[in-house]
Structure formats: C-alpha cells, structure tokens
Structure 1
Amino acid sequence: MPDPRVVFDDLRDEGDALDSLVGGAPVADWGRRTPAPGWSVAHQIAHLAWTDRVALLAVTDADAFAVETEKASAAPYSFVDEAAEEGAVRPPVELLARWREGRAALQDALSAAPAGARFPWYGPPMGAMSMATARLMETWAHGQDVADALGVAREPTARLRHVVHIGVRTRDFAFGVRGMTPPGEEFRIELTAPGPGGERWTYGPKDAAQRVTGPAVDFCLLVTQRANRADLALTADGPDADRWLDIAQAFAGPAGRGRDPQDHGSRRRA
C-alpha cells in the first residue's frame, strides 16, 4: 500500500507541473484548440477547476455533492461540457486563480481526511488516497491536451505510476461500461517506467496466459484516451488483452470515443 503522503505530494506536483505551462502563457494561448473536440486550453483548465471543486464537496459536504450528482443525472452526456464552457468564458487570470485555489483546498482536505473515510463520487465511493490518485490522473491527462495545444513535449515522470495503477484496476470497468463481459482471468502487465534505468512496472501473475507490454507513458496515453492505440508502442498477447487495448478507459462516466489516429508523424516509440 503506497504511503498516502506520497500520493498527495505527487498530486500537488502534477498540478504544479501543469501550472508551469499555463501560468505564464499569453492570453491568446488560452484560446488555442486542444485535441479534445470543442475544447480550448481554457476549457481544459476550467474542467479541472470544476472537478476539483466538486471533489472538495464530496470530501467536505456530502449534501452539496448530492446536488451536483442530481445535475449530472439530469444531463449525463452534457454536464461536463457545460461546466467547462461556463468556466472557459472567464478571463484567464480569474480562471487560473480559481483553479489554484480549488486544488489547494482539495489538497488540504484530502490530507486532513480521517484514515478509512469514504467519500461519494460519480462512480463507487472513494477513500482520500484513491480520490487523490484519480485527480492526479485527470490532471495529467488534461495536461497532455494542454501541452499538445501549446506544442510542448512533456518529460514523463515516475508520477505516471499512479495513472498506470488506475488503468490496470479499471480493466473490467472498460468492458462493463460497453456492455461486455469482462475476462475471467487476470492479465500480466509489464511496462517500462520513464527514465534511463529501464525499471519495469509489473502487475498480475507472471504465468498469465494473456499480457500487455510496452512503455508506461504509452499505456497512460491509452487508458486516458489521449492517443490512439495505432500510434502507441503497446503489444497485447491474447484475444482479450488485445480487445482491452481497443477499449481501455481509466476515467468514470460513459464509454469514451477515444482519439483518431494521427494523420502524420507518430507517437510510436521503439
């Protein structure tokens, strides 16, 4: 079991890394289109600010969070876009301040949460560490969209281990959200960690009949649906593992449509 303080610190660092991209960006850059259809850089930050706010409600005010879930139930396919649109029209300096304040408040609330406490969410209830991991995953994923819009190549870090963890744990969810029966057996996952050491992050039994291998960063891009499988250096052995790589989804909500293959160039890594 990871030390909760490590997860909380990594969440803070992931937010700071994205803040370094947008904090000093010219106002014009906030209007740049990102790979997410209809979303600018401002939409991406507005979404993170909104999600941090509702996560803070989940941790500190369950009744207020219940009101948010009612709104989501009334418009399940549009409430996320509507919240992003509402925030994106704010001046960048105001939006940036709201995001900074919200993520700092959530960081404090998660760090102060009692051990073993569970909080409501749009999926199953989560503990503080799981909530922090989910927020890190989303921050990294939306940060990738921002980096792509700004033409910035981000250096992968060991914080990706948290994204990998969610990606592996949500395997059955990815099948279920599409009305498919999850495989009955575990897969072996072997991923090459970022950095020069060539460390391997492994999950599942060594003798599993089906497996997935490749760079950890590519796996993270896949499960957050930030890149098409065709543009990634991931290999599946076994029919169920192969199907999983087509539908993998680490985030809650309806089945995502994913990203189209790149028209030129490639993310594929040797």
Structure 2
Amino acid sequence: MLEQVIADLEAEGLAVEALVSPLTAAGWRRPTPAEGWDIATTISHLAWTDEVAILAATDKAKWDEVVMDAINDPAGFVDTAAAEGAQVDPRLLLERWQASRPALAQVLRDFPEGGKVRWFGPPMAPASMATARLMETWAHGLDIAEALGVHVEPTDRIRHVASIGFRTRDYSFANVGLEAPAEQFRLELTSPSGDVWTFGPDDAPQAVTGSAYDFCALVTQRLHRADTDLVAVGPDADTWLDIAQCFAGPAGGGREPKRGIA
C-alpha cells in the first residue's frame, strides 16, 4: 500500500508542477482563492510541509523546535513560514519543492516498519503521512488551477482524498464542538473513471452519495456544498456535509457558493 500511495503522491506533485513550471515571475504572484496566498506562497507551503515531515521522521530535536514555533504562534506559524519561503526567486522555490518531494518519499519508504511519524496531531503511519501529503498537494493544486483560470481533469488518485474525508467524519463534528454520531454512515461516490467507491456498511441508515470529485473538494473546503451534487440521507449525514473538513486545524470557513443556495 505504501508504494502505491507514494506513486500517486509523486504523480500528483508532477501534475501541480506542470501548472507552475512555465510561469513568469509575475505569474507566481497571482493570488489564489486562499486569502493572502499567491501561487508562490502555496508552493512554499507545500515544500515546507514536506521538509517538516522529514524532520518529524528523522530529527526529533529539530522537530521539537517546529512544535515550539507552533505553540508560540498557533494561528500564524504556518502562514509565516509560507510567506517567508515565497520571497526567493521562483526558480529557487521550484527547485526547493522538486527536492523536498522525493526526499520525503524516500524517508517514508525507509521508516521502520510498524512505526509512526510524529505530527501536529496524532502520529501517523508512513502510508497515512503520504496520503495526507497527497490530499494537501491536490487541494492546493486546485487553488493554483483556479488562480490560473485552468481546468484540471480529476483522476482516480483522489480516492485517497475520499478515504481521508470519510475517516475524518468524527473529527469534523468535534472540530465544531458537536458530538459525533454514534452510528456509522454509508458513503457511495462515483469516481472520475466511472467506478463506484463505497465506504461504510451497506445497511447504514444514513448515507451520502454523489461525485467523488465533489466530495473531495468539499472535505478539503475547496467547494461549497451548494455547488456539489452530493445528497445526504439522514439528519446527521446532512450536518456532516455542512461541516466536513479532512485537514487539521481550526474549523475553516470554506468557500462561498458560486451558484447560490437553493
């Protein structure tokens, strides 16, 4: 499983790299939908997160320094690191990200079997860390594509994002101060290739169905619920679609609806 996730992570990184590598210096400064972040800031963040994950897996002392930065400025340390890293020549920034991706992949391959990598939340198995990096790379790739006004055709690599979105259901409730539902949900998604992906028990009384792309964009808060085709059966499943968040951190505000709320 680890090798498959890493292969998909590498492919996702290359897809995003293809968007930014032709850009002029001015192009790197195009604002993305993430408030205060341009394309350079976005790539800086992706490189920084790779590098921090490497420290978490290999150097406890330096990882502890990162944790202290987070403790001292919990609301701003991620933005600060991204902004600082974005100040260099875009060519150097791209080279930094091109180096961080394979370096992290190798660290995850070499990590002791059965061990878990330290992180800001619960420690993660190497495959889970790779999955989280894919999710973030894909989501920020959507930001970059929107900034550039281009459409990126979704691939079945987003199955990893869908899996995280399903597994973080309880976290989404807790993150907004709600008790997680006691019963499991059923999730049925149509993949970009036309397959149907299912999660949860067949006989679950509450369910969510629809496009895998829409679900993944929703749980990464790149798409407002009103702009998806997702259908909820049951009150708790309905609430989930309003609060879904598969990434760590305070509850995000998400995106404004593009076509209005029915």
TM-score normalised over the length of structure 2 = 0.97
CA distance in 1, matches of 2:133, 2:205: 33
**Residue equivalent to 2:28:** 30
Q: Any residues of structure 2 matched to 1:82-161 within 5 Å, and which?
A: 82-161=80-159
CA 1:263–1:34: 2 relative to 1, 3 Å: farther
CA distance in 1, matches of 2:102, 2:110: 12
Q: Which moved more, 1:226-235 or 1:255-264?
A: 255-264
Runs ≥4 residues deviating over 3 A? none
CA distance in 1, matches of 2:169, 2:154: 23
CA distance in 1, matches of 2:211, 2:229: 7
- 2:227/2:259 contact within 8 Å kept: no
- Counterpart residue identity of residue 101, structure 2: R
**Residue equivalent to 1:242:** 238
Unaligned runs of 5+ in 1: none
Helix, strand or coil at the partner of 2:96: helix
Helix, strand or coil at the partner of 2:208: strand
CA distance in 1, matches of 2:130, 2:60: 17
- 2:173/2:179 contact within 8 Å kept: yes
- Counterpart residue identity of residue 235, structure 1: V
CA distance in 2, matches of 1:235, 1:214: 6
Q: Any residues of structure 2 matched to 1:41-120 within 5 Å, and which?
A: 41-120=39-118
- Counterpart residue identity of residue 180, structure 1: L
- 1:172/1:182 contact within 8 Å kept: yes
Cα deviation digits, residues 144-189 of structure 1 (max 9, x gap): 0001101111111111000001000000001111111000010000
- Counterpart residue identity of residue 50, structure 2: D
Deviation at 1:91, TM superposition (A): 1.2
CA distance in 2, matches of 1:62, 1:180: 34
Cα deviation digits, residues 65-84 of structure 1 (max 9, x gap): 11111111111111111111
- Counterpart residue identity of residue 228, structure 2: L
Cα deviation digits, residues 20-67 of structure 1 (max 9, x gap): 111122221101011111110111101101111101101111221111
Cα deviation digits, residues 113-167 of structure 1 (max 9, x gap): 1211111101100011000000000000001000110111111111100000100
Unaligned runs of 5+ in 2: none
Deviation at 1:249, TM superposition (A): 0.5
**Residue equivalent to 1:191:** 189
**Residue equivalent to 2:204:** 208
CA distance in 1, matches of 2:40, 2:111: 30
Deviation at 1:216, TM superposition (A): 0.3
- 1:175/1:181 contact within 8 Å kept: yes
The number of residue pairs the alignment matches comes to 261
Cα deviation digits, residues 204-225 of structure 1 (max 9, x gap): 1111111000000000000000
CA distance in 1, matches of 2:178, 2:60: 32
- 1:193/1:216 contact within 8 Å kept: yes
**Residue equivalent to 1:255:** 251
CA distance in 1, matches of 2:174, 2:95: 38
**Residue equivalent to 2:222:** 226
- Counterpart residue identity of residue 95, structure 1: L
Deviation at 1:202, TM superposition (A): 0.2
CA distance in 2, matches of 1:149, 1:25: 12
- 1:122/1:253 contact within 8 Å kept: no
CA distance in 2, matches of 1:29, 1:41: 8
TM-score normalised over the length of structure 1 = 0.94
CA distance in 1, matches of 2:68, 2:150: 38
